Structure 1
Amino acid sequence: MTRCPVTLHDIYLARARISGQAVRTPLVKSVSLSERFEAEVYLKLETLQPSGAFKLRGALNAIAALDETALARGVTTASTGNHGRAVAWAASRLGARAIICVSELVPANKVAAIEALGAEVRTVGRSQDDAFVEARWLVEDESMTLIEPFDDPLIVAGQGTIGLELMEDVPELDRVLIGLSGGGLLGGIGCAVRGINPRVQVTGISMMHGAAMIESLAAGHPVAVEEVETLADSLGGGIGLENHCTWPLVREVMSDHCQVSEHAIACAMVHFLETEKMLVEGAAVVGLAALEEHAIDIRGERVALIVSGNGVDMATWQRAKNMVDP
């Protein structure tokens, strides 16, 4: 496998391409977490993107790069929710038809959010891999363009614009904690921050079960992993057995990684609502879950947590609350 061809220059080009559409999200210092961990802890609020999650950056960059013929034929993708919503939002802005393929595990609130943006949703099977079969059929049968959720240089470069903003806002950043699934977010941010300062620690976090990227790294090649229900549903799904971009990039830019339990995710979700006053999804809080569950020593460091999305429904929130306070 070859290294993903994403450079700092590509990320700067992506920023120019998505400017005026994606938001330059705020980086706010958490007083409570800074005091708890004796560090400077910052929250990167990708929840404030128009689509509710970081995925908008990559989707906009990929769709904006299409020519008029491709836009006229429309776009499709497979998604665990946030990417589909981002593709739907970007397609509506750029005048393209969109069909989003999801599995039965995608929460109903995320499906409704996609449909509200004017995209067609097709529910197929019990995994993202099943949904991908339908998306690839649309590419072959209707000549639509597949917008990859993560394994594409344009997607990675779009997500990498977060890293540029982090380094501009906190030039002496020591560590960034990032949810790890397909690797587009971590790969892009890692490429940006370590391209600017190689000493920045890039920590990836996955849920305890169904962590396809971590199991693939351990195996030395992409592997298929059963997709399971989790509070961090946005981190579900495989990385693709033919992964050519994010698997080698994550292996290159990630400093360390850990997996967190459902209880730790639930506790972090409760903290975000009760203390930070933010209602966010499970995947958005895995950085805090890792700090607490693994007692990561960040004393004296400048640390950023990527608060990746706000796509949580009340049933999932209540399930998390019940885990913490039965």
Structure 2
Amino acid sequence: MQAKFRLNGQVHRTPLVHSRTFSSMTGTELYLKMENMQKTGAFKVRGAMNKIATLSAAERAAGVVTASAGNHAQGVALAAAQAGIPSTVVMPTGAPEAKLLATEGYGSKVILHGTNYDDAFEQANRIAVTDGATLVHAFDDPFVIAGQGTIGIEILDDLPNVDAILVPVGGGGLISGIAMAVKTVRPDIRVIGVQPATASSGFDSWHNKAMSRVEKPSSAADGLLVKKPGELPLKLMLEYVDDFVLVSEQEIASAMVMLLERAKVLAEGAGAVCLAAMMNLPLGLEGRNVVLLLSGGNVDLLRWAHSLAPRTVHHA
């Protein structure tokens, strides 16, 4: 895959870590793919760098623009900075402050617009038309999808006998890239998508075999909040994804806490949904080699601590 060679030395080859604790709790041999340890704290930098590496000299001179709730924003900002090209990022007004500040820190111009990813994307599209900048889509782009697919190649290299991979799903670019990469080599590997029950457009679209929308997606997994999946990702998901499940907000919160307490791993909501699925749903993976993708670790700690405060018990 060309993306693998483009990204060689540009991104971290993240660890694949066996968890004895979670293996025992789930009856599987369970591994964590630690994309929370990736540059910018999330997998998104892979797709952004692969896309920007393909731009012409004229496109580089005009710069890039994107829309993101945070992780893709940081990925594009870093990739653009390393390539020496200007970048503009449109983020929804509710984007976590930590992600906003990190994006600015990489050198991008940040514009706040709308209340969700789709609102931000419409504004980014207008800027691309007006300024002539290249739009780097967060998930509906073949080069972005191929960049995310390098995660699948690394999993196969590190665990050739993997039986199943669970992947968080927002717009679908991540699971599309991974599923296509691994199933080209091992069609028998089960690839399972996981989404929040309150932001289920990918789940609905996959099960309905047609594009479905959720008008007001909401979840602590802010990186997965899209109204609908991408056109290309949906096509690839229908071809390559074996199953699709939903998890509740309480299950996501519990998985975040469990990862921190039992594995000493800080994962954002989007990064914790796969463990939430493994701990709460009958997936039929007992005795198998299972990889959970921890997609990112960019947690807004103040917001998270506040959300946990009502459940804290103080003893005299």
Q: SS state of the match for residue 51, structure 1?
A: helix
Change (3 A) 1:300 1:249: same
Provide the residue aligned with 2:244 in structure 1: 257
Are positions 1:203 and 2:195 aligned together? no
Equivalent in 63, 77, 86 of residue 74 of structure 1: 63
> 1:231: how far off?
1.2
Change (3 A) 1:129 1:173: same
After TM superposition, what 4+ stretches of structure 1 lie above 3 angstroms from structure 2?
Answer: 319-326
Identity %: 38
Query: Is this contact kept in 1: 2:260–2:266, CA < 8 A?
Result: yes
Alignment gaps of 5+ in structure 2: none
C-alpha distance in structure 2 between counterparts of 1:283 and 1:215, whole Å: 18
Query: Is this contact kept in 2: 1:266–1:324, CA < 8 A?
Result: no
Q: SS state of the match for residue 245, structure 1?
A: helix
> 1:104: how far off?
1.8
TM-score, normalised by the number of residues in structure 1: 0.92
Provide the residue aligned with 1:270 in structure 2: 257
Are positions 1:296 and 2:283 aligned together? yes
C-alpha distance in structure 1 between counterparts of 2:306 and 2:197, whole Å: 17
Provide the residue aligned with 2:214 in structure 1: 225
Number of aligned residues: 313
C-alpha distance in structure 1 between counterparts of 2:273 and 2:312, whole Å: 19
C-alpha distance in structure 2 between counterparts of 1:175 and 1:131, whole Å: 34
> 1:323: how far off?
7.2
Q: Deviations over 1:1-32 (max 9, x none)?
A: xxxxxxxxxxx100101111111111010111
RMSD: 1.5
Alignment gaps of 5+ in structure 1: 1-11
Provide the residue aligned with 2:35 in structure 1: 46
> 1:298: how far off?
2.2
> 1:227: how far off?
3.3
Provide the residue aligned with 1:104 in structure 2: 93
Query: Is this contact kept in 2: 1:212–1:224, CA < 8 A?
Result: yes
C-alpha distance in structure 2 between counterparts of 1:322 and 1:288, whole Å: 23
> 1:223: how far off?
3.0
Are positions 1:140 and 2:134 aligned together? no
C-alpha distance in structure 1 between counterparts of 2:232 and 2:117, whole Å: 18
> 1:159: how far off?
0.4
C-alpha distance in structure 2 between counterparts of 1:319 and 1:265, whole Å: 16
C-alpha distance in structure 2 between counterparts of 1:147 and 1:78, whole Å: 8
Alignment of 1:1-326 (within 5 A): 12-239=1-228, 243-319=230-306, 321-322=308-309
Query: Is this contact kept in 2: 1:14–1:61, CA < 8 A?
Result: yes
C-alpha distance in structure 2 between counterparts of 1:40 and 1:227, whole Å: 37
Query: Is this contact kept in 1: 2:209–2:238, CA < 8 A?
Result: no
C-alpha distance in structure 2 between counterparts of 1:30 and 1:322, whole Å: 28
> 1:325: how far off?
5.1
Query: Is this contact kept in 2: 1:269–1:320, CA < 8 A?
Result: no
